[in-house]
Structures are given as C-alpha cells and as structure tokens.
Amino acid sequence: MPSAANPAALVVWGGFVLAFVFGAVANKTNFCTMGAVSDIVNIGHWNRMRMWLLAIAVALIGASALQATGQVDLMKSVYQQPTVRWLSLLVGGLLFGVGMSLAGGCANKNLVRFGGGSLRSLVVLTFLAISAYMTLKGLFGQWRASYLDPVALNLGSLGLKDESLASLVSHATGLPAGTALAATAGVIAVALLVFVFKDKRFRSNGWQIGGAIALGLIVVLGWYLSGHLGYGENPDTLETGYFATNSHTIESLSFVGPTAYSLEMLLLWTDQSMHPSFGIATVIGVVLGSAAYALYTHKFRWEGFASFADLRSQLFGAVLMGFGGVTALGCTIGQGLSGVSTLAVGSFLALASIIGGAVATMKYISWREERAA
C-alpha cells in the first residue's frame, strides 16, 4: 500500500479509489451532463441538471475552503493562467458539446457505460483518445497551437497573476484576496443552492442529492490529494513539486487528456520512462467502479452499435470530443466541475460553450428527425 514516504504511489492509488467511487455513484444516479441538457431541451425536466449544479456548488465550496486555508494552491492548476486563450476555449468547448451529443455522452459517461458492458463506448473512447493525443502532440495539436491558442487575452497587463473571478473582484474592489475569494465563491454557491433546492421534486430525491454531494466532494478530495498530499520534495532532483500528475502540477478529475495518456501508456508499456499517473488511475477507476456497481446490481449488459449510421455518428462525435476537450482544457468534468471549482474565468467560458454546442446539436437533430418524419 502507498504511504506518505511514497507520494507518487499515494496520488495514483488515491486517485483510483476516488474515481472508483465516482464511477459507481455516477452509474447508480445516472449522472450525465449531456443527459441533463437533453432532459431540458426535449422534455423540460431539470432534475438531472439540478444534480449537476449541486455537484458544482459542493466542489466550489470545498475547493475554495482548501484554497482559503492554504491546504492547496489552486492558482497552480492549468485552469489558472494570466493569459485566457478565449478562442481555444470557445471553439474547443463548442466542438466538445457537439461531439458529446453525437456520441451519446461525454468522456465520463462513456467510461461509465464501458464499465456497464458497452463495447460501443469502448470504441468511442478509443477514437476519443486518438483524437485527444493528436491534439496534445500530433497534427491537431499543430493546428491548435498555430491558429487558436495565440488568440488570447492577457490579464497580466491588468496586473493579474491568474484568471480567478476572485482575483478580478479583488482587483476591481480593493478587497483583500481572502475576502474576495469568500465573497465570490459564497455568492455563486448560494445562488446555485437556492436554484437547486427550490424544486420540491428534487428535494425529495435523496439519491440525486446524495450522489451530487458525493461527486462534488470527490473533486475536492482530488485537489487535496494531488495538491497537498502529493506535493513535496522530489528525492531525485531535490526540487519541490507535484507527484504523479501529467501536467506536473495540481489536478483533480478530468477525463479527455487522461484517456489519451492511458492509450499512450498501453502503446508504450515497455518504455521505462512511462509511469502511471493520477489521470490514468482515475480513468481506470471510473470504469471499474461502474463495472462493480453494474455487476452487483445485475445490470451489466453487453452492448454494441445499433446501426452503421449510429457508428458513423458516434465516431465523428468521439473525434470532436478528443479535439475539443484538449483544446478547451477539459471536458464537462474537467472544466465543468474541477475547473469551475477554481473560479477560473476560462472554465466558465468553456462550460458555457460546451452547453451551447450540445443544445444547438440536439435542436438540430430534433429538427432533422421532424423533417424526415
């Protein structure tokens, strides 16, 4: 078992345990961002969206508390940069939203479905991983770096060191950083909680409430694991840093980039420089957690593609998700839960773009089906 003397192992195994619980809870409660958006667009039902918003509120409160008490430094995360690459966030988010609608779910949902026996999701995840890897280090990455990333807003010119909403509030009002953080996180969290719990049907759904709280807390624990327990001096280099994360800094749950790194590790297994990471462990953990729940409840079912048209649509969606998720610095979990919990301006921008792309695609699909009827 990992110990404090081996922080890398602690981060990897801790990430696996957190993701195992995440996968089981997500399967049990049918937690799905695309499903939440689809419920609103198609039938006007908000329960799953309220569950998702409650998870965001819990993650935001917990992450802000960790930041305020000095347990972690969220400003070191990839979401907090003095340069907001707004075009990458908008285009990447939009394409991810389109892709998850075509593929029947985001990266997390496909990991959960794969754990439940969906071979269709395995194929989707494979193409998503290839596309994401190409966006990280291949052909798609060249396009991203050449045409999208350079279009950015430099907040450093305004005297800001990061893109936190709390920092913007502090800069605009003169409030101390800690006060601005508490005020900003508090206002957003209270607004979310009021909206979530004003619905009587949702208040009576214990499973959705409990599931949302658990998923939000897992994101918080992910920050603590990688940013506190996994932070220390490297005995080989004597430099202080973060252990076992692909970004070499603090991380919490996100699934597009880690899916690509999981494929890379499988392809280069004998390369001695390859090591399991927090992200890779979370990908495996979600699948196995979902599988454990599916097997325990006798809901495990093998599933394939319904038709060639289904295959074509889902593979195209997978490629869009891979490119979009990396370009937008995260998926519905990476940006929607982990990123938003840091109060990063870019995360709110990416999340809005993801939802916008999903809504537009769902409305188009509905319009096309009506015309064909």
pLDDT, position 156: 87
The residue whose two tokens read 């097997």 is 295
The shares of helix, strand and coil residues in the chain, as percent rounded to the nearest 5, are 70, 5, 25
223 close to 3: Cβ distance less than 8 angstroms: no
Residue type, 96: F
DSSP three-state, residue 248:
coil
Q: Which residues contact 310 (CB under 8 A, 6 or more apart)?
A: 120
Question: What pLDDT does 341 receive?
Answer: 98
Per-residue pLDDT at 202? 95
Q: What is the structure's pLDDT at 2?
A: 59
Using the 8-state DSSP alphabet, how is residue 336 labeled?
Answer: I
CB atoms within 10 A of CB 192: 19
Low-confidence stretches of the chain (pLDDT beneath 70) = 1-5, 238
How confident is the model at residue 194, as a pLDDT? 98
pLDDT at residue 5 in the model: 65
Ranges of each domain in the chain: 7-372
The pLDDT score that the predictor gives to residue 275 is: 92
CB atoms inside a 10 Å sphere around CB 153: 16
d(CA 152, CA 76): 19
Among the listed residues 276, 258, 260, 254, the one whose alpha carbon sits nearest the alpha carbon of residue 333: 254
Which residues have CB under 8 Å from 200's CB, separation 6+? none
Whether residue 252 contacts residue 226, with contact meaning beta carbons closer than 8 Å, is answered with yes
Three-state SS for 337? helix
Instruction: Identify residue 285 by its one-letter amino acid code.
Output: G
Whether 366 and 42 have beta carbons less than 8 Å apart is answered as: yes
H or E stretch covering 83: strand 83-84
Give the contacts of 218 (CB within 8 A, at least 6 positions apart): 18, 19, 21, 22, 253
Per-residue b or e along 102-139, where b marks 16 or more CB atoms closer than 10 Å to that residue's CB: bbbbbbbbbbbbbbbbbebbbbbbebbbbbbbbbbeee
Residue type, 113: R
CA distances from 154 to 157, 166, 249, 328 (A): 6, 17, 22, 17
